[in-house]
Structure formats: C-alpha cells, structure tokens
Chains A and B, each alone.
Chain A
C-alpha cells in the first residue's frame, strides 16, 4: 500500500544541475564502453587465429585499452555518476560548493584519462591495466592514472560532504539507506586506492622519470593488489545498491530489512581490503602463513553475500505471493519479467551464482595453482564484472538516464533492452564458458594467439578460442544495442517524467540500530584488520628486499 507521503517521495527529482554532473560521468562511461568493447572484439578475433591486426597495432596495446577503459574508466565513471544522482535524490540537492567540487573531480579524472589514453595509443604504455613493474610505461601514463584516482577522491569528497550535512541536519536518525551505501563504497574506495596512489606516486612516477634507477617489484605488486581486490567490490557494491534499494521498488515490493542491508555493506567494507594476497598466492617473497591468513579474510565475504542473496529472494517471494503466486515456486512467475529495469539486473544476479562459486575456487589457496593466470580467471571476471555488474548498470541506466534527461523509456526500447540482455547472456555463456574450460586445460590469459611451437596441448585449445571469438562477437552486438538504447534515452526518447525508484523498508522490519552507522567503530575495525593482515608481511618485503629492478620496455 502506498501512502500519500510515499507517493510524494516518489516524485522527488534529482535537481537539474546535479543531473548535468551525473550525466557528464555517464557520457564518458558509455564512450569507454564503445571503444573498450571494440578492442575486446578485436582481441577475441585475433586469438581465434583467423585474424591479424592491421596497421601494426599491437595485441597488447588493444588489450591495455580494453582493460583500462572497461575495468577502470567505464566502471569508475558510471559508479560516480550513479552515486552523485543517488546522493542528490536521497540526501538532497548538492550545494553549489559541493557540486563545484564534483565538477573539479570530474575534470581531473578526465584529464588523467585523456593523458593515459594518448600514451597507450602512441604505444608508449602497453603495460595492461595492472601496469606491473618492471615493465616501464611512459611517465605521463602513470601521471594520468594517478589523476584518475585523485579525481575520484575529489568527487567522492563532494558526496561525503553531502552525507555529513544530512547527518548534521537530522541528528540521531539513520541516514537514507542509499546514501549510507554510497558512503560505505566511497570509504572503501578512499582507503584502498591509497595503496595504488602510493605505488604510482612514490614508486612508478619517480622511476619512470629517471629520478630513481630501480623499483621494488614485490612491494609495487603488493600495493597494487591491496587496491586491486577492493576495486572489484567498488564495482560490485553499486550493483548491490540497485538490488537492495531500487529493485524492491520496481517490483512493487519492500526492502526486506534496512538493518541487515547496512550490516552487509559494513561487512563488505571490513572484508574487501585486507585480502590482496589471494591475487599473489603463487608469488615468491610472501610467507605462506600470511597468504593463508588473507585467504581466510577473503572468504569472510561469503557472509554478506549470503545475507544479500537471502534478502533479494525474500523481497521477490513476498512480492510474488502478494500478487497471488501459489505453491513453492508460483511466486517466481508473478515477478514483472516484462520490465527491463527488473529483468536485466536479475540476469546479472543469476550470473553471480556461478561467478561467486568461481571466485571461491580462485581464492582457495592451493587450488589457485591450477587456475592462476589461466584464461579461467578472465572467464571468471567476465561473469562478475562483465555480466553481474554491467547488466545491473545497464538495467539502472534504463531509468537513471531518462530520469536525468527528462525523458521516458518507450515500450520498444524496454523490449529491446530485454533482448539486449538475452543476447548478452548467450554471448557470455559461450565466451566465458569456453574461457573457463580451456583455462582448466592450461591456456593462459593475456596472451596473443600462439601455437606454442606446435605443442599438442596448445592445439587442443584452438577450438575453444574460436568459441571465445563467437561469444565475443555476439557480445559486441550486445554493446551496439545498449549504446543504441542509451543514445535514444539521451537525445531522442519522448519527453516525460521517469521515476528514480527508491524502495521503502517493509513495515515488518525492525528499527535500524544506530550502531550500524557508527563510523568510529567500523573504521577502527577496518583499519585494525588491514594493519593485522599487512603490517608484518610488508615490513618483511621491505626489510628483506632484493636489489631493485631497472625499467624495461619490451613491447
């Protein structure tokens, strides 16, 4: 039952000036999707062995573009755009000062993106998005990357200022759930990106400028992965925001529990950072004990994931039964499958079941040896990031963009959006499935087409590489479709009002305890866990460091 008060809330629109800022981010995100996606298509074609790149373009050059644009630029820009709109919608319009800070952040990030892109295009930085030393890119590439991170901090500060302002005006009250989630994600981002900032600013930039001759390779990789794993949660948490807060509203249901939603976000904050070693399990120089300890901490994210899965399906079932669904599964059929805003993210959610299982395998200590750096891993994050997260973002774009542009999603576009998600699922099942299987057989990730000197094993991989090309091509069709829909929503769709859906908490849920929003407690535990997991091994890495490495440009 919607009350009059709730109806009034539904009509709240994001202020036009805030919309502009959010849209600026979304533009860059979808440009990145197009270029990065095109590079992805070229890669799968090359790796099938049937196609070579023209004009002397290098495989690793397009691989760098693909990774940087889709892993770092598309994600960060879409997330910040979404979060700006979410803060404005739930905590109120930004002040002029906050908005100005937001714009400064946007332009700093964009300047960094352009600088880094130019260096990659000039083939001065074919170091992939992980930029592992001692491969040495042009210093401008590293400066560009640093600016992207610093810009995201500035935009993040604008969001945090809005939150602080809301708390001051509403003392003793829990903040709006969506705002709270945005701030958890930003807190995680600020803490984790310090690692990569230290790596880039204090190690890679001085080294690439020639101010110092040598770099400590293991330290740089450790700092990178201190950042690299929370990075994936930085992608995932906005998808969770959509699932927890937006989807219940779209299906006409309620948020199952506000308190459990907050608890699960806080657990993600705690257990997404002190875990980077599970990306370094096969590396020398790190003691087995600390690797294992971080494996345990990694696996703790299973708990908030289970909480989330329960809440989602509880919301769905309650709504399905309300609509008259009977029996064990009857409620499932009653869900609004014809609504792209629900169905597209739902497919993403479903993909997270195999994706999460694969993730557990990857981080399972000894089991990592079987799959480390094989294309299984690529298959894994094309399920997590490139299906779960991206389909949720697409599903969100279908109401967010028209809300911001003052247009509506037409019936045809809604239908096309569902077709797009189905095409995506088919393409991804083929591509990611082939990657998983051939990865178990030993095929490496991040490698140009090769017959490996005619080795028997490598010959057996080729049919799977052809399958990857087929799946990848279907996915590119999916990218074209989503860009068509996005262009329509930006410039051509009929004018009108589109709701920014915000779920209400179920009347059966209990009041949210304030300790869930006590940042002193949570940040203290968060930092304590990081110090616990990293202090001893990092001291060990620095004290027992071998002679450093000079830079190499081997591409």
Chain B
C-alpha cells in the first residue's frame, strides 16, 4: 500500500511521540509506583459498621508502616463519617474508604485524591499532605437526591 512521503513523516513523528508518552506514563507508574487508586480488599457492604477498621472511622496515627496516618472513612447516602479530617502538614497519609450503600465518589477538591467507592470494595490511596489549608471533600459519583450535599473537610495543619 502506497503512503505519501509527508504522511510517512507525519506518522513517524506522531507514533514516536506516542511511544515516548506511553513510556513516561508507564515509567512513573511502574518505577515510581504512581498508580491511580485501587484496592483489592473485599467487605460485606451490609456489615461495614462491624468490620475493622470501619468500626472506628477517623484519623489514626500508626507506627511501623510506610505511612504515618490512616484515615478510615465510611460513605453512605448522603454523608461521610467522619465529617472532618485533620492531619499534620507533611505527613504521609493512607486513605481507606468504603461505602455502605450505593456507589459514591471520594474527591478532595484541588488535590489528586479522587477515588470511586463501590459497595463490597475497599478503596485505598496513599499520599503526602504537602499543602496546608482546608480542602473540600465531596461526592463526585451521582448517588441520589442528596448527592451534592454530601461533604466532608480535610484540614492540613502545621
């Protein structure tokens, strides 16, 4: 099949850029461990309140882990428990969250923390709280009539 000379140049340039781009994305994912949130822990959505760590939602200081704090959070229509989270600036935080009913979002506005909470699954994300201030936590997956009133607040304090 004949391909015009300029088109060959165009495709070579385009495909090389694509390969370079995918290499950068892949390198930061698999070398630096920068993956979007996931989680392979399963839970009975109807018994969330009884099962650790969700029987004690809140901020817990932990020792002997790669992270300093664990934020355990339970979402349900239409609120988050706890309604407010406070962590010290510069600390490494592991967010552990699930939902008791429908699918909810867990987004900390103005940050990279953004994950879907699905009934039956535990979503996890580890990050460093490196910006001081108050960050709005909101539900970004439609969950019903009260969807846009579902909030919490992340306070990163010095």
Contacts and interface: CB of A to CB of B under 8 A. Distances in A.
Nearest to B112: A369
Contact of B34 (A286, A302, A366): A366
Q: Is the interface of B mostly helix, strand, loop or mixed?
A: mixed
Contact of A288 (B29, B123, B136): B29
Contacts of A128: 142
B132 interface: no
B7 A284 contact: no
A160 B131 CA distance: 58
Contacts of B26: 292, 296
Interface string A323-344: 0000000000000000000000
Nearest to A360: B21
Given A299-B18, A299-B21, A283 B38 contact: yes
A135 to B, nearest CB: 5
Interface residues of B, number: 72
Contact of A554 (B39, B45, B141, B144): B144
A202 B107 CA distance: 32
Interface in A121-154: 128, 132, 134-135
Contacts of B134: 455-456
Interface stretch (B55-63, B65-73, B85-93, B113-121): B113-121
Given A442-B136, A546-B43, A135 B38 contact: no
B136 A450 contact: no
Contacts of B10: 306, 310
Given A282-B114, A282-B115, A58 B145 contact: yes
Contacts of A307: 7, 11
B143 A365 contact: no
A287 B38 contact: yes
Interface residues of A, number: 70
Q: Give the most central of B25, B148, B151: most A CB within 10 Å.
A: B148
A284 B40 contact: yes
A291 B113 CA distance: 18
Interface string B18-44: 100110011011100011111111111
B9 to A, nearest CB: 10
Contacts of A455: 134, 136, 151, 153
A10 B139 CA distance: 55
B39 A285 contact: yes
A250 B58 CA distance: 65
Interface string B65-83: 0000000000001100000
Given A366-B28, A366-B36, A368-B36, A552 B140 contact: no
A301 to B, nearest CB: 10
Interface of A: 58, 60, 128, 132, 134-135, 217-218, 221, 257, 259-260, 263, 280-288, 291-292, 295-296, 299, 302-303, 306-307, 310, 314, 364-366, 368-370, 372-374, 441-450, 452-453, 455-458, 509-510, 513, 544-549, 552, 554-555
